[in-house]
Structure 1
Amino acid sequence: MRFSFSYILFLVLLISSFANAQKISGGYTFAIDDQLQERIYAIDRLEFFEDTSNQLNFETVSQPGFQDKFKINPAFSKGLFNPSSTYWVKVSVLKNPQSEYYWILEFYDQTIDRITAFLPEKNTYKTIELGDRLPFEKRVFSHKNFEVPVSNQIEGIDNYYFKITSSQKADIRVAFRSVNRFVYYSLNEYFLYGIFYGMILIITLYNLLMYAAIREVKYLYYVFYLLCVVGFAMSVDGIGFQYLWPKMPSINNIAVGIFGFGIIVFAILFSIKFLNLRHRYKPMYFTLMATLILKTILFLLGVLQFRELLEIQYYDILPFALILVASIQVWKKGYKVARLFVIAYSILFLGVFLKILIQTAWVPHTTLIYYSLHIAFLIEMLLLTLALGDRIKILKESKDQALLRSLRQAEMNAKLKDKVNAELEQKVLDRTRELESKTFLLEQSNQQLIEKDQEIKRINSLLDKDIWKLKSQVKEGLKARVTNRKMDYQEFKLIFPDPNACHRYLAEIKWGKGFTCKSCGYQKE
């Protein structure tokens, strides 16, 4: 029983190997089989030859004596691709005229500069030019990838040759599939692209409206960040070339670099504003600004001369790592707004890390890893949008709590004010009563003083009268004594202190009743 099962398994594997990929002339051959409508081989499973001289032509490589130079190198990967060389790839197809489907060969990497396809046609070869250096309308299929039809009219094996040149590392990956499978796969892929870009545009519009309402620059930075993400994804996917600049293939060489640079710039600026690093974490603020300046210098060098600097490089993960570290530190310091930010950039960091690994051929190519950055961008955008909303919610809660504390403090202040006012009113009332009592006493005292003053004035008047009479009597007595010559010198000096007083007295005695001048006749009454 064990032997039968092993034997059956061996037969199944053997038949499958013959049906799927027969090994002929040292290489793999795609066998047309309606039961297996899709096969995808990377360059490590394809026959290819690297022309370092860039001098070979199709007539040379298609000769029977040259076929042994086409080899399969299982150790070869995208990381070993030499942009200064020309790569010739041979794909063998075992035809099956009884097939119900049409078949195509497809290249996935939309960034390949030029692919010259040599397609067998009866006893000759037809040439088709593909690549992102040509206008989009030159393609056989209006699709973001490069496809060529496969002839299947008669039985036999056809060899398809592809001359590949690229100024950047190319991921040579060939899919052999039926047109039905291609249409199904393309429709689903474009549908998912529509969902992806639609969600990003909706999030962009939402944040643009938030900026118009709140006028906080962080929302504007986030809008530009989202637009750069859209541009970068469309450049990598080939969607941008198909729909935005189909007649300007020269943009393809710099689009990824430009939008990638924009992502880093606005990610740093948005993170600095969102996390308020200038006040919350100054060392990381200066570190991110230095990183931004360094990336700007590398970008300008890439635009001016070194185009390889515009490709995704391993050091491009540094800004996202720094942003992640900064957000974690700010969160640890008690800034609750950063919690979703940390999760978002953790996912984005993972997506960028995987994308760099696959770009530099450190990990094998898979569909999930290839689109890991798209998935990471989408999740990160949703989380950052929630983080912005969460920030508003937290700020609103903080504002409401502060307002509630203010209301409670105002109530306490009002109660304290009422209490103080009541106490002050009572004190004022008591003081008023006391003042009224003292005023009444003062008025009484004043009245008494007035009466006493009047009495004193009256007494003083009487005293003045008596003093005057007394003085008059004294003077009369003194005068009488003077007249009677009975006063001494001191008394005389007291009455007549100076000569004039004496003269006046004598004049009064002599001429008191008037006189007449004997000389002039002047009279004084």
Structure 2
Amino acid sequence: MSFFARLFFLLACYFVAAPTFVNAAVPGTECPVLDATDALARKSIMHYVCFHQASPGYPGHDAAYPGELPEDFKWTPSLGHELAFSQTRSVYWIRLNLSNNERERRLWYLSLNYPLLDEVTFWQGDDPGDTLVTGDKQPFSSRAVDYRYFLLPLALASGETLSVTIRIRSSGALNIPLRLETPSELIAGSNHLTLTHGLFYGTVLVLAIFNLFLFFSSRTAYYLHNAFYMGALGIFLFAMGGFANQYLWPSSPELANTAIPFSLLLCTLAMILFGRSFLEVTKHTLADKTLRVMIWLCAGVTGLTLILPYSQAILFNTALGLTTIFILSIIAISRWRQGYQPAKWYVLAWMVMAAGALIYASAAFGYLSDFLARESLMQVVVGGQVILLNYAMVQRWRLLNNKLLEAEQAARSELEYRVHERTAQLRSTMRELENANRKLATLSLNDQLTGLYNRRHMDNVLPELCAEARRTGQPLTIALVDADHFKIINDTWGHSFGDTCLQLIADILTRHVKRPRDITIRFGGEEFALLLPGTDTAGAQKVCKALLKDLHTTAVTAPDGARAGITLSAGIASLLPGEDQQELFERADSALYEAKARGRNQTVIAGT
């Protein structure tokens, strides 16, 4: 027991007394200019960032915009280190110089990937009018982009150099992880995180509901307490990650700040209730009295959490949570020594949680950098703890089964059946959740009837293809294809046969549009689009004539045995210099209408 006591003491001392991050840099150095078009430079953004800590009473603390900063204001380069600071009353100024060395106007997003900052103000240049004021003490609508982190769109003309200044003030710790990404990079990263977080929070929710079902079916208290714990922990991490501020209370900054320490307090209370019931603590013992005192302490702290400032409430509740983990671990070790075997896995689960919680808390309080990595680590830790706790519950079930076997063989068999049945339900639920996520990812970009890409995919990829064509000088051609008189087919033979015809058209398009980079899209009822990078109008016309001929000569038998004639009309347009994707699409659409007007079943090139 003394080993674990010393371990907790050392970790707690580190957490309370660890020094604030100080960047070993030489003040006064001119901030370098980051070439925003250079992907490697963007990944090394912290080598281009400078900062200044303005303590109360010093120049810069009360400055309202960059133009009010003194002329001898000294910037400190971050030298590649992420900026992380413990609780402070200082104001932090961040400076980043950007340039666009390409020949056209480009858009980037500067992201500050830490949601728990009270006040964040962005300036592009020194103009006080070009200001974005946001932060988690502002309504969520104050942000430039509807996103859990702080995003600043930066549009730079060719050859333009821009100085971005950020002013940050927060009552809690400060993490300032900056990223500079293109829209496609931001979307890709966001999609990845959305899937990861969706799986994590979905799993936590499923397990919480599953434990509720176990409680209702078995009336075993620790299932209810475990569901309470997972629910409270999920809400706490949801709030810490900025999701709650985005989705649950976007118009209530006060509630957003109160929810974090309050949900942490609920986690602590749930830990005590679950540990007390799972470890089967004997009533009126020292352990039982200690846990009762902790429960009443949590109830008393609830009122303080609602009135204390966030910085004080989160510190106090964090210390209370770590103390609770320590006390529960001591009680669990004692029960383990008494021969209660499930306590062994309970101890391991809380050792994993203690280590992860200390690292996560250290990052949240500014003692460690890279909050995103710590957030991911915390999710892994929670997953490991959930596995160990569920394994501990399985061990407890085995212990109960052995006791029941001594009393009644039939009852033991029934209980084993129930355990296996519930385990199978959990696995089935997890499989269904995983399959649902896979299907969702596929359905979001694919047409369900034909299997082709849908309009959303075209909206995503067409701007990129246009940008690539302008950059490389290669042609980009779009062909819009529409089935002629398709309403007559639906009205005559029904929509089911119409769907069959659409699938036939999709098959023919797929056969003729077969280069690896060519893209076939269904973007309307009977409307299709062909995106042909590296192909001019002559090549596109050749493809369209071939597929029109193929469909015209394909015999389609209607449900009544009649031959249904299906023809297509196509409009073709190639990207012109200075033209954007909307103008390209409209020219192709006009060419399609011209093909319809000329009698259908033909191809028209825009402008001919």
| TM-score normalised over the length of structure 2 | 0.57
Following the alignment from structure 1 to structure 2, what is the Cα–Cα distance between the partners of residues 141 and 105? Answer: 11
Residues 43, 269 of structure 1: CA spacing in aligned structure 2 closer, same or farther, 3 A cutoff? farther
Picking from 330, 340, 347, the partner of 1:342 is 347
How far did residue 369 of structure 1 move? Answer: 3.0
Picking from 51, 54, 68, the partner of 1:50 is 54
2:186 is matched by which residue type in structure 1?
A: F
1:151 is matched by which residue type in structure 2?
A: A
Q: Which residue of 2 aligns with 1:369?
A: 374
Answer yes or no: is the 8 Å Cα contact 1:211–1:220 preserved in 2.
yes
Answer yes or no: is the 8 Å Cα contact 2:83–2:177 preserved in 1.
no
Q: Which residue of 1 aligns with 2:153?
A: 149
Residues 142, 37 of structure 1: CA spacing in aligned structure 2 closer, same or farther, 3 A cutoff? farther
Picking from 266, 273, 279, the partner of 2:277 is 273
2:288 is the alignment partner of 1:285: yes
Q: Which residue of 1 aligns with 2:99?
A: 94
Following the alignment from structure 1 to structure 2, what is the Cα–Cα distance between the partners of residues 361 and 169? Answer: 5
Residues 97, 309 of structure 1: CA spacing in aligned structure 2 closer, same or farther, 3 A cutoff? same
SS at match of 2:230: helix
Answer yes or no: is the 8 Å Cα contact 2:29–2:75 preserved in 1.
no
Answer yes or no: is the 8 Å Cα contact 2:177–2:371 preserved in 1.
no
Residues 183, 245 of structure 1: CA spacing in aligned structure 2 closer, same or farther, 3 A cutoff? same
Deviation digits for residues 345-395 of structure 1 (CA, Å, limit 9, x no counterpart)? 121111112122223333443643343222212221232233323322331
2:132 is the alignment partner of 1:128: yes
Following the alignment from structure 2 to structure 1, what is the Cα–Cα distance between the partners of residues 255 and 389? Answer: 30
Q: Which residue of 2 aligns with 1:382?
A: 387
Following the alignment from structure 2 to structure 1, what is the Cα–Cα distance between the partners of residues 387 and 198? Answer: 16
Following the alignment from structure 1 to structure 2, what is the Cα–Cα distance between the partners of residues 24 and 191? Answer: 43
1:359 is matched by which residue type in structure 2?
A: A
2:215 is the alignment partner of 1:211: yes
Picking from 338, 342, 361, the partner of 1:356 is 361
How far did residue 31 of structure 1 move? Answer: 2.1
SS at match of 1:164: strand
Q: Which residue of 1 aligns with 2:396?
A: 391
Answer yes or no: is the 8 Å Cα contact 2:121–2:131 preserved in 1.
yes
Picking from 67, 78, 92, the partner of 1:60 is 67
Q: Which runs of 5+ in 2 are unaligned?
A: 1-26, 413-608
Following the alignment from structure 2 to structure 1, what is the Cα–Cα distance between the partners of residues 118 and 84? Answer: 15
Answer yes or no: is the 8 Å Cα contact 1:43–1:172 preserved in 2.
no
Instruction: Write the mapping of 1:60-209 to structure 2, written as runs, cut at 5 A.
Output: 60-61=67-68, 65-66=71-72, 68-72=73-77, 78-82=84-88, 84-98=89-103, 102-120=107-125, 126-209=130-213
Q: Which residue of 1 aligns with 2:559?
A: none
Moved more, 225-234 or 347-356: 347-356
Instruction: Write the mapping of 1:471-486 to structure 2, written as runs, cut at 5 A.
Output: none
Following the alignment from structure 1 to structure 2, what is the Cα–Cα distance between the partners of residues 217 and 89? Answer: 51
Following the alignment from structure 1 to structure 2, what is the Cα–Cα distance between the partners of residues 363 and 248? Answer: 29
Answer yes or no: is the 8 Å Cα contact 1:37–1:178 preserved in 2.
no
Answer yes or no: is the 8 Å Cα contact 1:101–1:179 preserved in 2.
no
Q: Which residue of 2 aligns with 1:316?
A: 321
How far did residue 223 of structure 1 move? Answer: 1.5
2:63 is matched by which residue type in structure 1?
A: L
SS at match of 1:88: strand
CA radius of gyration, larger in: 1
How far did residue 200 of structure 1 move? Answer: 0.5
Q: Which residue of 2 aligns with 1:255?
A: 259
Residues 272, 147 of structure 1: CA spacing in aligned structure 2 closer, same or farther, 3 A cutoff? same
How far did residue 101 of structure 1 move? Answer: 5.8
Residues 40, 250 of structure 1: CA spacing in aligned structure 2 closer, same or farther, 3 A cutoff? farther
How far did residue 399 of structure 1 move? Answer: 0.7
Answer yes or no: is the 8 Å Cα contact 1:207–1:219 preserved in 2.
yes
Residues 216, 27 of structure 1: CA spacing in aligned structure 2 closer, same or farther, 3 A cutoff? same
Following the alignment from structure 2 to structure 1, what is the Cα–Cα distance between the partners of residues 406 and 267? Answer: 37
2:40 is matched by which residue type in structure 1?
A: L
Following the alignment from structure 2 to structure 1, what is the Cα–Cα distance between the partners of residues 213 and 410? Answer: 32
Residues 62, 177 of structure 1: CA spacing in aligned structure 2 closer, same or farther, 3 A cutoff? farther
2:40 is the alignment partner of 1:36: yes
Instruction: Write the mapping of 1:394-473 to structure 2, written as runs, cut at 5 A.
Output: 394-404=399-409
How far did residue 199 of structure 1 move? Answer: 0.3
Following the alignment from structure 1 to structure 2, what is the Cα–Cα distance between the partners of residues 94 and 402? Answer: 79
Answer yes or no: is the 8 Å Cα contact 2:28–2:76 preserved in 1.
no
Following the alignment from structure 2 to structure 1, what is the Cα–Cα distance between the partners of residues 313 and 44? Answer: 29
Residues 62, 307 of structure 1: CA spacing in aligned structure 2 closer, same or farther, 3 A cutoff? closer
Answer yes or no: is the 8 Å Cα contact 2:364–2:371 preserved in 1.
no
How far did residue 151 of structure 1 move? Answer: 2.4
Residues 287, 101 of structure 1: CA spacing in aligned structure 2 closer, same or farther, 3 A cutoff? farther
Number of residue pairs matched by the alignment: 380
Residues 318, 44 of structure 1: CA spacing in aligned structure 2 closer, same or farther, 3 A cutoff? farther
How far did residue 401 of structure 1 move? Answer: 3.2
Following the alignment from structure 1 to structure 2, what is the Cα–Cα distance between the partners of residues 190 and 225? Answer: 23
2:251 is the alignment partner of 1:244: no
Residues 77, 142 of structure 1: CA spacing in aligned structure 2 closer, same or farther, 3 A cutoff? closer
Following the alignment from structure 1 to structure 2, what is the Cα–Cα distance between the partners of residues 93 and 111? Answer: 26
Moved more, 363-372 or 153-162: 363-372
How far did residue 243 of structure 1 move? Answer: 1.6
Answer yes or no: is the 8 Å Cα contact 1:44–1:76 preserved in 2.
no
How far did residue 278 of structure 1 move? Answer: 2.7
1:56 is matched by which residue type in structure 2?
A: A
2:311 is matched by which residue type in structure 1?
A: E
Deviation digits for residues 124-181 of structure 1 (CA, Å, limit 9, x no counterpart)? 8521122112222332221110000122213143111112222222212221222221
How far did residue 244 of structure 1 move? Answer: 1.5
1:320 is matched by which residue type in structure 2?
A: I
Residues 367, 56 of structure 1: CA spacing in aligned structure 2 closer, same or farther, 3 A cutoff? closer
Following the alignment from structure 2 to structure 1, what is the Cα–Cα distance between the partners of residues 46 and 289? Answer: 44
Deviation digits for residues 83-104 of structure 1 (CA, Å, limit 9, x no counterpart)? x333222221132234796311
Q: Which residue of 2 aligns with 1:462?
A: none
Deviation digits for residues 425-459 of structure 1 (CA, Å, limit 9, x no counterpart)? xxxxxxxxxxxxxxxxxxxxxxxxxxxxxxxxxxx
Following the alignment from structure 1 to structure 2, what is the Cα–Cα distance between the partners of residues 342 and 124? Answer: 56
Residues 348, 124 of structure 1: CA spacing in aligned structure 2 closer, same or farther, 3 A cutoff? closer
Answer yes or no: is the 8 Å Cα contact 1:79–1:360 preserved in 2.
yes
Following the alignment from structure 1 to structure 2, what is the Cα–Cα distance between the partners of residues 297 and 171? Answer: 31
